[in-house]
């Protein structure tokens, strides 16, 4: 997964700043004298996996192009509570105005990376990959996907454009999973991967026979995943087996050991618990 950068990143961040600042940061302008300089540190107050520091830096730099920044922790590294992860100095007004947007993005990214690492650690040694989903807040998907990658997970499709994923409504409207796969194979680009969600053994067999590249076993027990995986792998060209459906940290290893090649976890991004990160500032003479 490539980090959002350059003009695309700046456009997104300026929109976030505009939403927060509006006409002016009235509190900062009323209380902090113009020209005041500050220095400070971003501190992880909870244990977390680091993700998103370059994005946070860019938020501050958009309001203070002369910002001085020293990154103290690399992406993907787990840090203990009370660990400084970056040091910064610059114009006090700019840093205070940018603080909330920078922290919101950083805390969310670190929270996603931390949750992902827990799932990755839980399936260690099985060969199973942890995947994200499209269950992200609009406007934040690129940031969320990078956080999953920093946490050691893998990215599923980026959007509706880069993979065929046939789900329950597609199946019903197309006349069944087999018909949907065959029609997708006829209409989609030859290089396009086709995945089909199945909810019964009959649908599984139909999807495998129709040549699905990936079979998504949704809302089933580990025992069912094991049985259906064994059936699917008897095919001349066995599909990748993905499991999903409310799979928790406590249960994810059971699905990996049942034979799932990957497990997709929507909670990584739709129910993220933000990491606790603070910005501590003091007046600087220069």
Same domain, 258 and 167: yes
Asked if residue 148 is part of any domain, the answer here is: no
- Tell me the mean pLDDT in the region 44-71: 98
Domain containing 238 equals 163-265
pLDDT per residue as tens digits for the range 88-126: 999 999 999 999 999 999 999 999 999 999 999 999 999
Same domain, 167 and 218: yes
Asked if residue 158 is part of any domain, the answer here is: no
pLDDT band at 4 (very low <50, low <70, confident <90, very high): confident
**For position 227, which CATH number holds?**
3.20.20.70
SS3 content of the chain, % helix, strand, coil (to 5): 45, 20, 35
pLDDT at 171 exceeding the cut of 80:
yes
Distance between CA atoms of residues 189 and 197, nearest Å: 20
pLDDT per residue as tens digits for the range 215-272: 999 999 999 999 999 999 999 999 999 999 999 999 999 999 999 999 999 999 999 9
pLDDT, residue 284, reads: 86
Asked if residue 130 is part of any domain, the answer here is: no
**For position 276, which CATH number holds?**
3.90.1170.20
Same domain, 61 and 27: yes
Residues annotated catalytic, as ranges: 100, 135, 167, 197, 218
pLDDT, residue 106, reads: 98
DSSP conformational letter for 106: H
Asked if residue 151 is part of any domain, the answer here is: no
Asked if residue 155 is part of any domain, the answer here is: no
pTM of the model: 0.96
Same domain, 238 and 276: no
Same domain, 40 and 63: yes
Token pair listed for 70:
């020293």
Token pair listed for 266:
């929507």
pLDDT, residue 2, reads: 75
Query: CA separation (Å) from 69 to 18, 88, 180?
Result: 23, 4, 52
Same domain, 250 and 276: no
Same domain, 112 and 15: yes
* Strand pairing class (262-264; 48-49): unpaired
How many domains, the chain?
2
Distance between CA atoms of residues 110 and 277, nearest Å: 9
């Amino acid at each position: 997964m490539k980090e959002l950068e350059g003009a695309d990143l700046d456009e997104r961040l300026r929109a976030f700043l505009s939403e927060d600042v509006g006409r002016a940061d009235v509190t900062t302008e009323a209380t902090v004298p113009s020209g005041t300089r500050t220095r400070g540190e971003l501190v992880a107050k909870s244990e977390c996996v680091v993700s998103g520091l370059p994005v946070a830096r860019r938020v501050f730099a958009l309001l203070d192009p002369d910002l001085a920044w020293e990154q103290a922790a690399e992406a993907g590294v787990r840090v203990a509570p009370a660990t400084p992860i970056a040091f910064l100095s610059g114009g006090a007004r700019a840093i205070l105005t940018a603080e909330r947007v920078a922290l919101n993005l950083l805390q969310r990214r670190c929270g996603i990376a931390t949750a992902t690492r827990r799932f990755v650690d839980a399936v260690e040694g099985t060969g199973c990959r942890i995947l994200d989903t499209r269950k992200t807040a609009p406007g934040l998907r690129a940031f969320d996907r990078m956080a999953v990658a920093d946490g050691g997970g893998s990215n599923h499709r980026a959007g509706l454009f880069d993979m065929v994923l046939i789900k329950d409504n597609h199946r019903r409207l197309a006349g069944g999973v087999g018909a949907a796969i065959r029609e997708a194979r006829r209409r989609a680009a030859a290089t396009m991967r086709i995945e089909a969600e199945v909810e019964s053994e009959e649908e599984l067999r139909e999807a495998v026979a129709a040549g699905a590249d990936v079979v998504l076993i949704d809302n089933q027990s580990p025992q069912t995943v094991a049985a259906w995986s064994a059936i699917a792998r008897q095919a001349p060209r066995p599909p990748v087996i993905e499991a999903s459906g409310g799979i928790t940290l406590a249960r994810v290893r059971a699905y990996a050991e049942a034979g799932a090649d990957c497990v997709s976890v929507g909670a990584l991004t739709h129910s993220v618990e933000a990491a606790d990160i603070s910005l501590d500032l003091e007046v600087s003479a220069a």
